[in-house]
Amino acid sequence: MKPVYLAVLMLATSVVAITAPDSGTKKIAVPRLTQVDAFPEKYRDALHAIGSALSSSGGKPGEYFAEFLGEKDGLWEFHLKHQSHPVDDSQWMGDACSRCRVAFYDPKAGKFLKFQGIK
């Protein structure tokens, strides 16, 4: 094989290898509510308050995964997904495990406000 063709073949192979999706790549897991250091610093006080409120209501913060949903009307919303929630719930609308919830936190007052169940 001529050197030019070999170089083109090697280049084409490397481009395909770089752009091809990795079938073994896993989606990055959402951290547990108790893994406060895994979140940006600005949300850590909120997560501590949410964890305390969950404990006070009889829940176990270590059983929940937390994800910041966004800000709405000046309140921060966090989705708390329970560890018993089905892994593949793509066809399910609502909360399949009946333990997931949304937590609301007021960053101006620095206080947890409430939990809302997911239906």
Mean pLDDT for the stretch of residues 35-39: 95
Q: What are the residue ranges spanned by the domains of the chain?
A: 24-117
Comparing 23-27, 58-62, 100-104, the range with the smallest average pLDDT is: 23-27
Q: Which of 112, 88, 109, 91 is nearest to 101 (CA)?
A: 112
Q: How far apart are CA 118 and CA 106, in angstroms?
A: 20
Res 18: pLDDT: 44
DSSP 57: T
**pLDDT score at 85:** 75
Spatial contact of 48 and 35, defined as CB atoms under 8 Å apart: no
Confidence band of 98 (pLDDT split at 50, 70, 90): confident
